[in-house]
Structure 1
Amino acid sequence: MTEIPMGPELLSPGQSCLATVEQLLDFDFDIPAFQRPYDWSDKQVSELIDDLSDAQRKEVHLFLGLVVVCTQSNGRFAIVDGQQRLTTLMLAIGALGGTGKILRPKGGGVSSLWISPRHADIGFAKALVSTSSETEQTLSQRRLKQAFSKLSDQKALNLATLLGAQLIVYVAPSLAGATGLFERINLRGKDVSQFDLVKNKLIEWAAVEKDSIVRGEIEDFITARYDTLYRRLDPSSKEEPFDSDKLLRVHWILFTQKQFKSSDKVLTEVDSAIDETYSSKKSIARWIESYLDSLVRVAETWVAVERPYEATPPSWAPQLKHALLDFARLGRDGELQPLMVAAIIRWQADATDLVRFCEITSFRSALAKKNSNHGRSYKWRVARQLYQGTWSDALKQPISLAADAVHQLFWANTPYWSQGEAREFGEDLTLEQVGAEVFPDNALDSTRFYKDYRHLIHYFFWKYGVYLQHSKEWADFTRIDISPFQDSVWFGNEERFKGWDIEHIYPQTPADRDTREGRAHLKVMTQWVDHLGNLTVLPVPDNRGMQNLPFIEKLAWLREQKKVPFNELLATPDYRGNLLNKPHWGINNCKRRITEIRTAAAKLWGFDAVRELGVGPYDNRLESYQEDIEEEGGDVPDNSAETVAA
């Protein structure tokens, strides 16, 4: 390693140097478009501040690690490893009064930044360090602003301490060499995303191309595609970043030609596939182009499936968005995401019925106490075949309609809603078969519903509340001052149903439990406290003021809120039952209410619901699925054609 250089022109490829931050100000750095947006959290910024403060107190130089760069034709250095640290250092210099050191004037009134961020953030970063006001549009810009604000509050921190901090800068001979070094460094003890590692692997394989012009074209293509991907994965809301590794897995399930297992790593699979392409003397460039074009295509749809409340394209049909919202609210069975993505890419709005069925089968499976990975191998196999256009039924007829897909999926692994549904579809279950099943319809009447299905309660009442507003029997009995059935109310950007509490109508700890009458009723209701007929949901601020009052007192308060129809109906004797144990809510009320709830549930998730989506009796279009369904995602035979993903 050389001594501290006098300028960047003295640092050649293959060399490294130890330099202070102040000396590095003589360098000009770019963050390549294939790098992820700024994503340092408040905790990481705080840790840097603590380290700088400690170095200042001890009067020593803080060492900030290794930065890997490579040269560019414009004379600037592209940062391959260390962009988050260097960007934060630039913000810190600006926050501590050194804006002139990092914002350099150029001709024509134009200025450039010491660390030039991704193109989408350049203007925002310039305004930020210039203390100009500019509204943040994405998560990366919000984090830039939060970091700058936190650093600006450090009045005791000296700019000299920051400028005296040291880093090692290594100039890699090539882009592939830089990404390879990044991988070797960061795999030792640091959690690096598969998404970034796959990107580096593609750049590494591009270096195999002997022709420098072709190699440059491949690297430019990778850069352009990752720029598109990172822009798509930088959310506009106040959410956390999208899970890019989840996208990577969903895409590979659709793109690969073989069954993907839950234990597989996409990085390993990509490396193996390119190695096979190279060994067979096929074009690596064409493989990379096919892979990244497909990844971008899937990403455009996946982000809307993952977060339909913020990322659904305006051009999508409202009914498709609503179906995706309901599936997302259920919060279960991500194993069906690849199938929904493939269906939307292939059918657009016509995929609505399949998405709706995915919600139904997931909810049924949850009530039947089946793991979310039930039938995972089958789900992933048909998702891939749908994406690649090779999904056919047992008669070798292509699956070209959502109704055909729903029919296949139902008979593969969807639990019967009830014994009655089994009979409707022509199956007479034996007593042994009935005893081995948990039927979703029966589960709704469980006295342990709160304990066993707590994770489904918010979703259930969301669907039930929407149903009541359109119910011929109950719509006229419901009064709502403002509709709570808005996406922003029930499904905020930070967490599903965060603003809603589950409430026991007859309290878990009633206020009058120390009175004779209270003790007697508590004894009667003990087995019914956690029954669905005794549960409801309320906005958190409303629920906090209600306490554990008897029902008659609580009812007046509930009605005053006028927020949700299923609470308004508690005042209707036909809905709750006439035999009210004044002042208490009793067993008969729970029984009467659950009768109405089960009637609604049957329409939402039962026989009529699946039949309307295309499910019919078992017939000769259906394959034998038993060999394909493996609970833990094991490998299964695949008869799909060896085609390249569209």
Structure 2
Amino acid sequence: MESGIRARECSLSAILAPGILLRMPPYQRSYAWQGDEVGELLSDLWRAASRGKHHFIGAIVLVEMDDRNFLVVDGQQRLTTLSMILAVLRDLETDPHYKALAHTMIGDPDRANHGDDNAWRLTLNHIDTPYFREAVQTEGATRQRDAEAGQATNHGRMSTNLDLIESHLSRLSASQRRQLFETIRDRIMLVRVVVPDWDGGYDVFRVLNTRGKAPNTHDIIKTEILQRGDFTEDEASAHARRWLDHESKLGANGLDDLLNYIRQLYSRSSKGKVTAEFSKAVLSKVDARTFLDEHLPDYVSTYNAILRGEPDYGAFSEAVRSPINHLRLLDHHLWRVPALAYLYRQRENGAEAAEFFSLLERFGFVMMLYVTNSDARRKQYARLTKAILDGKPLFHRNGPLNFSREDKRRIRERLTGRFVNFMQRRAVALRLNAALENGQQISSDEDASVEHVLPRIVPEESHWNRIWPSAAVQRELAETAGNFVIVPRHVNRIADRLEFREKKKLYFADGVRVFALTEDLRGRETWTPDDVRERTEQLVDILMGVWFPEPLG
């Protein structure tokens, strides 16, 4: 019987070709390559370029969803890093011909300019894609991206690796960079393996990611649970299959995270390695069979609802889902532990759940913006989680979800300040958009990016310097909420450093989606420091009114 698996040798340009869409399946981890892996790839590529040789990068395994639309089972890290190298080569290039050739392996310019998300060769997961689009794939992005993406995040790894790539490539001459590009395009060879269906793709993924490699956290814990459970061979096999179903639903990293969160709920501590502490924390309190049969399936479905932002509370579902989806914008995941604790235990009272998640959203944003010390932040979340587990009142004046008058004053002060971090800026702008009249919640995969009306970097010869003569004032206000609008990515790329009236023409052009955060610019004729300060105060008042409807006093 034929397997349906097809394999053939091809060049990288045949994989990153016009019309081909490569997307990450949900079980793929986020971008994870470190600097040494990127440096090794750059060295291999330059060695091949300088010698005029071919370079083999192994197999890329794909699931064919439909014609020219594929899921990447194995090869995400290599394809993402090669796209980053191509993007830096493109943005360092001065010759329009070579610049266009490099961009062709990243996306289709015409389709991208019309906001078509299928314009891009490579789409990562919902966390990484917005940053990947704005900092890598968009033309000119690597020369204008944020320097402070956050080192603890996948975006931080991308940013660090982009710095490394740019450092390497900027030392080459223009002709050497073109030589390197031609090698990447024509002489990087790989084996393209196409699997016919999703299930087969997941089987291949599981084999490729366990054979010869250190096991995942969840593999270690699964083995320990099965050993403790005294199962028959058939029972152990059935539990192992169900475990794979859990992994398929959440992804390997997602299941690792869930088991860590469960361990924290049982031990009430985040200290120690989960593989070392899980048995002591969990299996000392519940036997292995009960945990696998009764507890874990409920935890998986609950955590999956959190990840997808889709818990079911009947008529109150939207009131619960909306704040969860705002929480998914944050630059940290600590909020997931109290969310899991609450959802797992409180499944009936929709009105109470809506109130809890509304307050948890506020709590999470405050932790991101105001409680920046990681230890202090963890303690605040631990206090909240303990209150949930202990059945303590959550909503009273002195409860863990509420803030003092002085806290509120400082939170407002922080909201009027600068947002230099990509994730914080995006989270605040998207939350503001939903808070405004006729505003809507924007999902992470929508074509929406934060545009600075006053450019973050103003060239010396720019007209902006006539209206904003002080560089210090530019730095002070460019990253404040009052200077943000939300526009489709192609509008952001074109608008960049244009003068205000020209930017407005792009923002409100026929066929361009106008977001609520952008709408109030329609009637404005000027964009001065006073305009930005006034708008910042207005927007902060609106957001504080949503989070703290009672007067600050």
Q: TM-score range by the shorter chain?
A: 0.5 to 0.7
Does 2:434 align with 1:466?
A: yes
Task: Report the CA distance shift for 1:341/1:416 in structure 2 as closer, same or farther (over 3 A).
Answer: farther
1:270 to 270, 279, 283: 279
Equivalent position amino acid for 1:443 in 2: R
Give the secondary-structure state (helix, strand or coil) at the position aligned to 1:594: helix
Where does residue 528 of structure 2 map in the other structure? Answer: 586
Question: Structure 2: which 5+ residue stretches go unaligned?
Answer: 1-25, 33-72, 75-192
Which of residues 258, 280, 292 is equivalent to 1:247?
258
- Decide whether aligned partners of structure 1 residues 535 and 340 sit closer, same or farther in structure 2, where only a CA change above 3 A counts: same
Q: Answer yes or no: is 1:195 the counterpart of 2:218.
A: yes
1:444 and 2:458 matched:
no
In structure 1, what is the equivalent of residue 321 of structure 2? 321
Question: Which among 213, 219, 228 is matched to residue 242 of structure 2?
Answer: 228
Using the TM superposition, give the Cα deviation of residue 232 of structure 1 relative to its aligned residue in structure 2, in angstroms: 3.5
Offset of 1:591 from its aligned partner? 1.9
Length-normalised TM-score, structure 1: 0.48
Match of 1:514 among 461, 473, 476: 461
Identity over the aligned pairs, expressed in percent?
14
Distance 1:463 1:38 in 2: 28
AA in 1 matched with 2:532? C
Distance in 1, matches of 2:426 and 2:484, equals 10
Per the alignment, do residues 266 and 501 of structure 1 end up closer, same or farther by CA in structure 2, a change over 3 Å counting? same
Judge conservation of contact 2:468–2:529 (CA < 8 Å) in 1.
Answer: no
Match of 1:296 in 2: 297
Provide the rounded CA distance (Å) in 2 between the counterparts of 1:191 and 1:563: 49
| Amino acid paired to 1:202 | I
The TM-score, its normalising length taken from structure 2, stands at: 0.55
CA contact (8 A) 2:468 2:528 kept: no
Secondary structure class of the residue paired with 2:456: coil
Equivalent residue for 1:532, pick from 457, 469, 481: 481
Output the CA distance in 1 between the equivalents of 2:339 and 2:29.
32
Aligned to 1:636: none
SS at match of 1:536: strand
**Partner Cα separation in structure 2 for residue 600 and residue 363 of structure 1:** 15
Offset at 1:299? 1.5
For 1:303 and 1:549, the matched residues in 2 are separated by 43
SS of the residue aligned with 2:436? helix
SS of the residue aligned with 2:241?
A: helix
1:23-172 aligned at under 5 Å gives the runs 136=198, 140-143=199-202
Are the equivalent residues in 2 in contact too, given 1:367–1:443 (CA < 8 A)? yes
Answer yes or no: is the 8 Å Cα contact 1:417–1:607 preserved in 2. no
1:335 Cα shift?
2.5
Q: Distance in 1 between matches of 2:240 and 2:195?
A: 29
Structure 1 residue 569: Cα displacement: 1.0
Deviation of 1:367 after TM superposition, in Å, equals 2.1
In the alignment, is the contact (CA less than 8 A) between 2:218 and 2:255 conserved in 1?
yes
The letter for the 1-side match of 2:215 is V
Structure 2 counterpart of 1:47: none
How far 1:246 moved relative to its partner? 0.7
Distance 2:29 2:342 in 1: 35
The residue correspondences of 1:326-337 to structure 2 (distance < 5 A) are 326-332=326-332, 334-337=333-336
The CA deviation string for residues 539-572 of structure 1, in whole angstroms up to 9 with x for no partner, is 2122122241110121122121342122121122
Distance 2:451 2:194 in 1: 48
Contact 2:454-2:483 at 8 Å conserved across structures: yes
Report if the CA contact (8 A) 2:371-2:377 is conserved.
no
Contact 1:234–1:242 (CA under 8 A) maintained in structure 2: no
Q: For residues 418 and 322 of structure 1, do their structure 2 counterparts lie closer, same or farther at Cα, with a shift above 3 Å needed?
A: closer
Kept in 2: contact 1:602–1:608 (CA 8 A): no
After superposition, give the CA deviation of every residue in 1:495-519 in whole Å (9 maximum; x if it has no partner).
xx7x4433221223457x427x654
Q: Does structure 2 retain, via aligned residues, the 8 Å contact 1:468–1:566?
A: yes
Counterpart Cα distance in 1 of 2:453 and 2:499: 9
C-alpha root-mean-square deviation of aligned residues, in Å? 4.3
C-alpha deviations, 1:340-359, integer Å up to 9, x for none? 11212222333222122121
Aligned length: 359
> Structure 1 residues 542, 147: closer, same or farther in 2, change over 3 A?
farther
Q: Which of the two has higher C-alpha Rg?
A: 1
> Residues 222 and 606 (structure 1 numbering): CA distance in 2 closer, same or farther, change over 3 Å?
farther
Secondary structure at 1:263's aligned position in 2? coil
Deviation track 1:411-464 (CA, whole Å, cap 9, x = no partner) reads 5x7795533xxxxxxxxxxxxxxxxxxx12112222xx132x442222222222
Identify unmatched segments of 5+ residues in structure 1: 1-36, 44-83, 86-130, 152-182, 208-214, 278-285, 393-398, 420-438, 476-484, 612-616, 618-646
How many Å apart are 1:249 and its aligned residue? Answer: 1.1
Distance 1:364 1:38 in 2: 31
Contact conserved, 1:504 with 1:536, CA < 8 A, in 2?
yes
Deviation at residue 530 of structure 1 after TM alignment: 2.7
Relative to structure 1, the CA distance from residue 38 to residue 386 in structure 2 (aligned partners, 3 Å threshold; closer, same or farther) is closer
> Quick one: distance in 2 between partners of 1:371 and 1:269?
27
Q: CA deviation at 1:312?
A: 4.5
